[in-house]
């Protein structure tokens, strides 16, 4: 008998203490087909991206599954509970997800991230992931809106987060690629140059190649 690519993870919500299950993709079922320039991975078969966000069915607290159960300060919990108390007729988040439901989970995770006052780079990562889901759904307007919001957060992270998880090279590159995807070609070139001229660029040979590849795309598109 073939094993299902999905399985149930068990969670205990750190906000309202609700216990529940939510589906994830087995690592053995993950099959990447292509990686786009902004790190969006296209999969053969089920995409783990669609199940990245865990949503509490009771209070709607949402976060990446690997961080979902991390304890939160009481004032943050109260803020989340107050914000989400009036939602009605919600879908089932813990089962199989289509693109529309995956898009909603990321929207909820962004709301939760902002209430937790997470660093801009972490919020940007969630918004960029939402843009990927919109791209997969063919929702160009939502993708562009998300890309522009992610861009603002990444630029803020570049200027203010001295010790974030992303280096200056990684941030400059992703900002440059998003600028290209939103039609800001001059700004894209400036940021790609920022990445390529960094003293740390040789530490990131993959980004160096990707930055030059994006440069080539800009020459084709302009």
pLDDT in tens, 11-65: 999 999 999 999 999 999 999 999 999 999 999 989 999 999 999 999 999 999 9
From the number of C-beta atoms within 10 Å of its C-beta (0-12, 13-18, 19+), residue 145 rates as middle
In whole angstroms, what is the distance from residue 46 CA to residue 52 CA?
12
Distance CA 56, CA 191 (A): 38
> Contact at 8 Å (CB) between 137 and 103?
yes
Q: Is position 144 within any domain? A: no
Q: Please, are residues 108 and 53 in contact by the beta-carbon 8 Å criterion? A: yes
Whether residue 82 is predicted with pLDDT greater than 80 in this model: the reply is: yes
pLDDT for 131-186, tens place per residue? 999 999 999 999 999 999 999 999 999 998 665 678 899 999 999 999 999 999 99
* 46: in domain: yes
**Does the pLDDT value for residue 1 go beyond 60?**
no
Q: How many domains does the chain have?
A: 1
Q: How confident is the model at residue 90 (pLDDT cuts 50, 70, 90)?
A: confident
Residue 104 in any domain: the answer is yes
Task: Kindly indicate the confidence band of residue 84, based on its pLDDT and cuts at 50, 70 and 90.
Answer: confident
Over pLDDT 90: what percentage of the chain? 83
User: Domain range spanning residue 106?
Assistant: 6-119
What integer pLDDT is reported at residue 163 of this predicted model? 59
Q: Establish if 65 belongs to a structural domain.
A: yes
d(CA 134, CA 145): 10
pTM score, two decimals?
Answer: 0.94
pLDDT value of position 160: 85
In a domain, 219, yes or no: no
Cβ contacts of 80 within 8 Å, gap of 6 or more:
15, 59, 60, 61, 72, 112, 115
Structural domain includes residue 80: yes
**Residue at 176 is within a domain:** no
3-class secondary structure, 71: coil
Domain-embedded: residue 29 = yes
Separation between Cα atoms, residue 35 and residue 72, nearest integer Å: 34
Q: Measure the CA–CA gap between 153 and 149, rounded to whole angstroms.
A: 7
């Amino acid at each position: 008998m073939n094993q299902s690519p999905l399985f149930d993870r068990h969670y205990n919500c750190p906000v309202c203490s609700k216990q529940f299950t939510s589906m994830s993709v087995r690592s053995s079922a993950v099959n990447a087909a292509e990686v786009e320039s902004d790190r969006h991975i296209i999969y053969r078969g089920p995409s783990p991206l669609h199940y990245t966000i865990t949503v509490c069915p009771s209070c709607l607290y949402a976060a990446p599954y690997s961080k979902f159960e991390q304890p939160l300060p009481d004032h943050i919990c109260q803020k989340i509970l107050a914000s989400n108390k009036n939602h009605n007729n919600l879908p089932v988040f813990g089962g199989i997800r289509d693109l529309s439901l995956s898009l909603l989970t990321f929207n909820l995770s962004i709301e939760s991230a902002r209430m937790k006052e997470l660093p801009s780079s972490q919020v940007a990562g969630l918004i960029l992931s939402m843009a990927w889901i919109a791209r997969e759904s063919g929702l160009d307007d939502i993708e562009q809106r998300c890309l522009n919001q992610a861009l603002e957060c990444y630029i803020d992270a570049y200027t203010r987060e001295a010790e974030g998880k992303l280096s200056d090279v990684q941030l400059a590159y992703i900002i440059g690629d998003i600028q290209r995807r939103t039609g800001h070609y001059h700004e894209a070139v400036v940021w790609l140059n920022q990445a390529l001229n960094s003293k740390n660029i040789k530490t990131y040979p993959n980004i160096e190649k990707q930055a030059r590849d994006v440069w080539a795309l800009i020459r084709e598109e302009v």
